[in-house]
Amino acid sequence: MFAQRRRLALAIAVTVVAVIAFAASGNGSKDEAVTVAPAANTVGSAPGSGDSGDTDSKPADPAFLPDVDPSIAPEIITVNVPAPPSGFVIDGTASYVRWPQTLGLRPCATPHALIGAVITVTNLNNGRQIKCNNVSIEALRDGSVIIVHTDVFLDLADLVDAPIPVEINF
């Protein structure tokens, strides 16, 4: 039993010494690489580059990075957005709904035009016209071509006449 303890202690001591020796030899090679690498980069110069072979302690700028000039603003990226369709004429019926907040707009809703499009609505019964802003492109439930805000619809017809035949242009 005593012999096994001695062998175990000897194995531990040899292992500790080997680890320390290995770590010490690894640190020495890292220091050499750090001191040799900058000298190797600066001593060699390209033929005809104008360098006289002087050793420069400042490393060269990486070739793949552009020069950064803080006085120049970044370039504005232009994004092309398709123009809203224009020149379309659709016949159908119009009805009304009251939007809670109009924010100064004359709101209407049709799935046939883009949001924000200015739509001309013509009442085919009396010839009255209004212009409104498309605020929604959701499908309409009652089969109408367009839904107009109540206050704007009154410029086309009386509310009791709804739905009315209309022609929309956008």
Count how many Cα atoms sit within 13 Å of the Cα of residue 161 in the half-sphere of its side chain: 16
Give dist(CA 49, CA 146) in Å, integer.
73
Rg for the chain, CA atoms, rounded = 41
Domain edges within the chain: 1-43, 89-169
Bigger pLDDT: 100 or 121?
121
Residue 10 structure tokens:
């000897």
For residue 53, how many other CB atoms are within 10 A of its CB?
8
- Cα separations (Å) of 100 from 107, 111, 131, 150? 11, 20, 19, 11
Q: What's the pLDDT tens digit per position in 35-75?
A: 444 444 444 445 444 445 555 677 776 666 666 666 766 67
Strands (E), 23-128: 89-97, 107-109, 118-123
In degrees, rounded to 5, the angle at the alpha carbon of residue 103 between the alpha carbons of residues 86 and 132 is 25
Rounded Cα distance between 6 and 4, Å, is: 5
CATH match for 89-169 among 3.50.50.100, 2.60.40.10, 2.40.40.10, 1.20.58.110:
2.40.40.10
% of the chain residues with pLDDT over 70 = 69
Percent of the chain residues past pLDDT 90, beyond the cut: 16
pTM as predicted: 0.48
